[in-house]
Amino acid sequence: MKLALFTVLSFGITALCFAAPQKPSVRWCTISSAEEKKCNSLRDHMQQENFAFSCLEKASYLDCIKAISNSEADAISLDGGQIFEAGLAPYKLKPIAAEVYEHSEGSTTSYYAVAVVKKGTGFSIDGLQGKTSCHTGLGRSAGWVIPIGTLIRRGDIEWDGKESGSIEQAVA
């Protein structure tokens, strides 16, 4: 019995040594038929490469974030606001690539957000508490995520993530 077990284990280990290594793979998550079409075109062009590329269509970017968090997908293209949301608990995802723009100072990853106040008022970000502000859109990068994220980072807004309530409640 021991000899049979030893023989089977030896053949199994030998077979593993000669097994072909699995190709690295990327499972790209898409949220529209247009994205799916582009993804499938990229997949078709990547067939000659030394890794597998596949596409997974979901109904929304949040469904893709959940799929990545659950190891059903590997990547998606998101805007800044969606990246911020993906970085929050329970997902805690991290961006792995960003668009880089050439400037006279050199290459940089950037996204512009501008705050406007009436000239001569002496008003600054330090005086926002209790004031009303206007934003371009809830969840939008330049008009919501960057300013609110800045206030959270500075400690002006206390918010510990979605488990502590919505961000809208925290800023109200």
CATH code, 25-108: 3.40.190.10
* E strands in the chain: 25-30, 52-57, 101-103, 106-108
All CATH 3.40.190.10 domain ranges in the chain, comma separated: 25-108, 112-171
Query: Considering the entire predicted model, what is its pTM?
Result: 0.56
Q: What is the pLDDT of residue 161?
A: 81
Is 3.40.190.10 the CATH number for 112-171? yes
DSSP code at position 167: H
Q: Tell me the pLDDT tens digit for each residue of 51-107.
A: 889 999 999 999 999 999 999 999 999 877 788 889 888 999 998 887 766 777 766
Q: Which of 69-73, 111-115, 135-139 has the lowest mean pLDDT?
A: 111-115
Measured CA to CA, the distance from residue 134 to residue 130 in angstroms comes to: 13
